[in-house]
């Protein structure tokens, strides 16, 4: 097997537990949701009735027609949150948390000498680590999204009469979530990657502290009318931009009179030019991280 | 097969000078002992030789400079560090698979021979292995590589005396074919002195001795005289003097001329010579 692919496989093996965490959390989420649903349904069981009747009672109380104005929209937004925003949050959090320790873990634990004594370049190792932490986290988020999508669609299909529409619309929500996640995971994962190259211990915490200080300095400079490298503003602005595909879908839900239109949102609406910049900045951050990592001294 | 040249290598850790203008040349096929006290610069020197540390001066492998982080040299050089560097997240078989897959110089036949002697549990995680077993695994992975130069920095740390003996007297023999070079740094001098061909002493970042065992044996003598002959011994400018039970033992350089005085002499043990050269005398 090619050296790089072998190392990629190795990176996955040593980090596979981290990839399971989103699935475990989401499994617990779903299990809890079902337990709550069943508990509520059990309270609604008529005298001498069955759980099935209790569930029917519960669904009839919240049942709405697809044309119903507010409650239908609110439920649909909940569905979108389940399928898209949660995915983005997973992607960013898992990506950033994983990336935040990816380049310093082996140094911290004393394994780095073993890896540096192998005939594989630091750049190859760095790419394998980057792909595993960021793309890996993104793939884990997709897994969670699919689980969410199936769960949310099954649940909402029992509420809405038009099952096909629910599945299509929530698929759009999931797609919006995917696209937001890709770019968000790239940017924030790359920041985490850089922090892991710079700091050996508590990289994310130190990064967050620096970000806060930067924000404070920016505010101070702004108060004096000086605009200098607005890093904090850029990052906070990026979050809003990255979530645009999801927010766009949600705005469409709120604005549309005919909810059927939501199944026809053009895919191009999910993309914008800032995403290109985010990819370029992420690549730059990756290169900078690898150079710092390469020159990190392993003192005897 | 490869030769290694170290030319004017200096390494500072902030204000501390770990290596001070170190120069020497290692021909192929030698087994060399690198000795020094803790903090003398042994590990730093080895890591500089592997391109794992930035330094001043140059280190050449077959005439080609080993620059910082030049990983391709690990096709020709293998290294065992003095710290337990094995990734404990791996299973034993994963570690073997990784090194085997990444290293083009992996020797499967030697692996089979050494693995059969190791008692390593393939399916176990490295984290469940004892310190000694982890060291065994690291040794196994390194000795299975058909490299020209092997650097061992305290290779038997944490191993029991039986395995240490087996390692130096037998296992290392599986690797050494007379053409390969082995550089061993260890504090357990007496366990390796029988297999060494050359000796390097390093102290405070400087090479204070680099010679072959034959040359050392013909240059240095350990002489023993009765206690009442102390002045005659001191007249020889000994490197060290040790007063024992009724005798005085000294290590001297060059020819011995004690006139009619009765004395016995032997070749000095490496540990004694080292102590003598870095200031271990009780005088």
> Among candidates B225, B230, B214, which has minimal Cα distance to B267?
B214
Q: Report the C-alpha gap between B159 and B262 in whole angstroms.
A: 44
A-chain CB neighbours of B103 within 8 Å are 118-119
Instruction: Report the pLDDT value the prediction gives residue A61, as an integer from 0 to 100.
Output: 62
Average pLDDT for residues B221-239, to the nearest whole number?
Answer: 86
A-chain CB neighbours of B75 within 8 Å are 119
Q: Report the C-alpha gap between A55 and A43 in whole angstroms.
A: 10
Residue B69 in contact with partner chain A when CB distance is under 8 A: yes
Closest chain A C-alpha to B74 CA, distance in angstroms: 5
Closest chain B C-alpha to A203 CA, distance in angstroms: 21
E strands of B106-185, at which residues?
149-153, 181-185
Q: Report the C-alpha gap between A81 and A176 in whole angstroms.
A: 11
Among the partner residues B83, B98, B99, nearest to A113 by beta-carbon distance: B83
Query: Tens of pLDDT along A253-290?
Result: 666 555 555 556 666 767 777 788 888 999 999 999 99
Do A3 and B101 count as a contact with CB atoms less than 8 A apart? Answer: yes
Do A300 and B46 count as a contact with CB atoms less than 8 A apart? Answer: yes
> Among candidates B42, B6, B78, which has minimal Cα distance to B203?
B42
Do B50 and A110 count as a contact with CB atoms less than 8 A apart? Answer: no
Q: Which residue has the higher pLDDT, A107 or A33?
A: A107
Average pLDDT for residues B88-98, to the nearest whole number?
Answer: 93
Query: Tens of pLDDT along A48-102?
Result: 777 777 766 666 665 544 445 445 555 566 666 666 666 667 777 777 777 888 8
- CB under 8 A, 24+ apart: contacts of A270-279: A270/A175, A270/A176, A270/A179, A270/A245, A271/A179, A271/A245, A272/A241, A272/A244, A274/A238, A274/A241, A275/A183, A278/A183, A278/A186, A278/A187, A278/A238, A278/A242, A279/A183, A279/A186
Q: Tell me what ipTM this predicted complex has.
A: 0.86
Average pLDDT for residues A212-221, to the nearest whole number?
Answer: 86
Closest chain A C-alpha to B196 CA, distance in angstroms: 24
> Among candidates B43, B64, B44, B39, which has minimal Cα distance to B56?
B44
Q: Which residue has the higher pLDDT, A222 or B149?
A: B149
- With a pLDDT cut of 90, the percent of chain A lying above it is 17
Residue B38 in contact with partner chain A when CB distance is under 8 A: no
Instruction: Report the pLDDT value the prediction gives residue B283, as an integer from 0 to 100.
Output: 39
Among the partner residues B94, B103, B138, nearest to A118 by beta-carbon distance: B103
Average pLDDT value for chain B: 89
Among the partner residues B13, B18, B85, nearest to A114 by beta-carbon distance: B85
Average pLDDT for residues A30-36, to the nearest whole number?
Answer: 79
Q: List residues of A whose CB lies inside 8 A of any B CB.
A: 1, 3, 6-7, 10, 13-14, 106, 109-122, 294-295, 297-300
* Chain centroid offset of residue B214 CA: 17
Residues 6+ apart with CB under 8 A from B95: B86, B87, B126, B137, B141
Task: Work out the pLDDT band at B159, boundaries 50, 70, 90.
Answer: confident
B-chain CB neighbours of A121 within 8 Å are 71
* pTM summary value: 0.82
Average pLDDT for residues A187-193, to the nearest whole number?
Answer: 88
Do B52 and A116 count as a contact with CB atoms less than 8 A apart? Answer: yes
Q: Across-strand partners of B80?
A: B152
- Measured CA to CA in angstroms, residue A73 lies from A66, A158, B65 at distances of 9, 16, 69
């Amino acid at each position: 097997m090619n050296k790089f692919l072998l190392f990629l496989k190795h990176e996955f093996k040593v980090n596979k537990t981290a990839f399971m965490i989103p699935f475990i959390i989401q499994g617990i989420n779903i299990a809890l949701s079902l337990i709550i649903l069943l508990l509520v349904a059990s309270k609604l069981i008529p005298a001498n009735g069955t759980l099935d009747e209790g569930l029917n009672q519960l669904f009839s109380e919240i049942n709405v027609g697809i044309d119903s104005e507010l409650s239908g929209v609110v439920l649909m937004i909940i569905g979108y949150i389940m399928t898209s925003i949660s995915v983005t949050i997973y992607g960013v959090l898992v990506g950033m948390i994983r990336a935040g320790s990816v380049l310093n873990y082996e140094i911290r634990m004393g394994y780095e000498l073993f890896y540096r004594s192998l005939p594989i370049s630091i750049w190859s190792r760095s790419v394998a680590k980057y792909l595993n932490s960021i793309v890996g986290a993104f793939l884990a988020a997709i897994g969670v999204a699919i689980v969410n999508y199936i769960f949310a669609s099954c649940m909402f299909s029992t509420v809405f009469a038009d099952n096909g529409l629910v599945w299509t619309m929530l698929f759009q929500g999931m797609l919006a979530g995917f696209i937001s996640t890709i770019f968000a995971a790239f940017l924030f994962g790359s920041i985490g990657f850089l922090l892991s190259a710079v700091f050996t211990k508590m990289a994310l915490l130190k990064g967050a502290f620096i970000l806060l200080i930067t924000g404070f300095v920016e505010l101070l400079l702004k108060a004096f009318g000086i605009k200098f490298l607005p890093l904090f503003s850029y990052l906070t602005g990026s979050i809003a931009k990255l979530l645009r595909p999801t927010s766009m879908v949600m705005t469409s839900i709120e604005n549309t009179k005919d909810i059927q239109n939501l199944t026809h949102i053009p895919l191009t609406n999910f993309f914008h030019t800032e995403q290109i910049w985010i990819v370029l900045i992420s690549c730059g951050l990756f290169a900078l991280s690898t150079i710092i990592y390469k020159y990190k001294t392993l003192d005897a | 097969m490869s030769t290694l040249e170290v030319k004017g290598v200096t390494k500072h850790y902030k204000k501390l000078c770990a290596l001070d203008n170190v120069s020497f040349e290692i021909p192929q096929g030698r087994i060399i002992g690198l000795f020094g006290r803790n903090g003398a610069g042994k590990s730093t020197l080895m890591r500089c030789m592997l391109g794992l540390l930035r330094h001043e001066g140059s280190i050449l492998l077959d005439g080609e400079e080993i620059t910082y982080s030049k990983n391709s040299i690990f096709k020709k050089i293998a290294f065992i560090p003095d710290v337990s560097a094995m990734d404990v997240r791996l299973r034993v078989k994963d570690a073997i698979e990784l090194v085997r897959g990444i290293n083009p110089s992996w020797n499967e036949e030697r692996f089979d021979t050494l693995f059969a002697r190791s008692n390593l549990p393939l399916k176990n995680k490295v984290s469940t292995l004892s310190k000694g077993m982890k060291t065994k695994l690291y040794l196994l992975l390194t000795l299975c590589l058909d490299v020209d130069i092997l650097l061992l920095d305290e290779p038997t740390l944490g191993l029991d005396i039986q395995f240490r003996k087996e390692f130096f007297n037998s296992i290392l023999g599986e690797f050494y074919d007379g053409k390969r070079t082995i550089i061993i740094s260890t504090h357990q001098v007496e366990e390796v002195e029988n297999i060494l061909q050359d000796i390097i002493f390093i102290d405070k970042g400087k090479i204070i001795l680099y010679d072959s065992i034959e040359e050392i044996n013909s240059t240095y003598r350990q002489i023993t005289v009765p206690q009442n002959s102390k002045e005659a011994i001191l007249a020889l400018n000994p490197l060290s003097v040790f007063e024992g039970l009724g005798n005085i033992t000294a290590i001297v350089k060059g020819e011995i001329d004690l006139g009619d005085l009765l004395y016995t002499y032997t070749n000095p043990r490496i540990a004694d010579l080292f102590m003598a050269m870095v200031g271990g005398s009780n005088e």
